[in-house]
Copies of this chain bind each other. A is one copy, B any other.
Amino acid sequence: MTSAPYASREHSTKERILGAAEALFATHGFAGASLRQVTAAARVNLAAVNYHFGSKDKLIEEVFRRRLDELNSRRLAALGKITGQDETQLEDILDAYIRPALDLSRTDGGGAAFVRVLARAYAEHNETLRRFLSDNYGHVLRQFAAEFGRLLPSLAKEEIYWRLDIVTGALTYAMADFGIIQRKSDVAERDHREAAADHLISFAAAGLRNPSVSTSPATR
């Protein structure tokens, strides 16, 4: 072996497992993709998953962590630029939230697959996974909810979280399907998604602005 300066190369066992798992989870779901499929696709031994990650659940978490760390950093960076400003519109906050995810779905090397994994996570209401995401990235949601609350003072905190969850799920699903369609597209695909993202944002803004529904039973 030509002892290169990079100890953990892109083609290390761990990385190959993560890549294969990401692709197979996107296609077959977390329960539907078996470790035997994953290790066969990654061309590693079956036991490698439990050796390097400990369990299938931990592997799933690592698939998320690898992408979400950067995704949410970008979200917070974008949010930081508009936080507290007077002229901030609802659409600006939504843009800070979904634009990094849209960019991710455009990257090579599994980004598009990961967006589909994200959509899976929303569809499956896996409690373990929910807990992991809440523990590790809940502060991001909280910061966005706070900023949304600033622009929507008439909505209760709880109501804002509900709507954010619905909006995020619908957006994620739409983005995931963009990723599938991407294969058949040509150069104009980028423009299509750019324009579609604008529509998604305006849709989400309309849903969030919706004044009706009361979550406090006493106040009627």
- The answer to whether A199 touches B188, judged by C-beta atoms less than 8 angstroms apart, is no
Is there an interface contact between B177 and A169, defined as CB atoms closer than 8 Å? yes
List, in ascending order, chain B residues with CB within 8 A of A196's CB.
207, 210
User: In the complex the two chains form, is A174's CB within 8 Å of B184's CB?
Assistant: no
Task: Please give, as numbers and ranges, the residues of chain B lying within 8 Å of A123 by CB-CB distance.
Answer: 29, 119-120, 122-124, 173
A102-B186 Cα distance, complex, nearest whole Å? 36
Contact of A188 among B27, B206, B214 (CB under 8 A): B214
A165 at the interface (CB under 8 A from B): yes
A215 touches B184 (CB 8 A): yes
How many chain A residues have a CB neighbour from B under 8 Å? Answer: 44
Q: A32-B31, A195-B210, A210-B199 are in contact. Are A173 and B177 (CB under 8 A)?
A: no
B185 touches A213 (CB 8 A): yes
> How many copies of this chain?
2
Bound state CA distance, A212 and B198, in angstroms?
13
CA distance A78 to B56 in the complex (A): 47
| In the complex, chain A residues 188-208 whose Cβ is within 8 Å of any chain B Cβ | 188-189, 191-192, 195-196, 199-200, 202-203, 206-207
Residues of B within 8 A of A199 (CB): 203, 206-207, 210
- Bound complex: CA A29 to CA B129 (Å): 15
Is A109 interfacial (CB 8 A cutoff)? no
Contacts of A125 in B (CB 8 A): 27
The answer to whether the Cβ of A7 comes within 8 Å of any Cβ in the partner chain is no
The B-contacting residues of A in range 120-176, CB under 8 angstroms, are 120, 122-125, 162, 165-166, 169-171, 173-174
**B-chain residues with CB within 8 Å of residue A206 when the two chains form the complex:** 199, 202-203
In the complex, the chain B residue whose C-beta lies closest to that of A201 is B203
A178 at the interface (CB under 8 A from B): yes
A:25-40 near B, CB below 8 Å = 27, 29, 31-32
Are A166 and B162 interface neighbours, CB within 8 A? no
What are the 5 tightest A-B residue pairs by CB atom distance, in nearest-first order? A203-B203, A123-B123, A192-B213, A199-B206, A170-B170
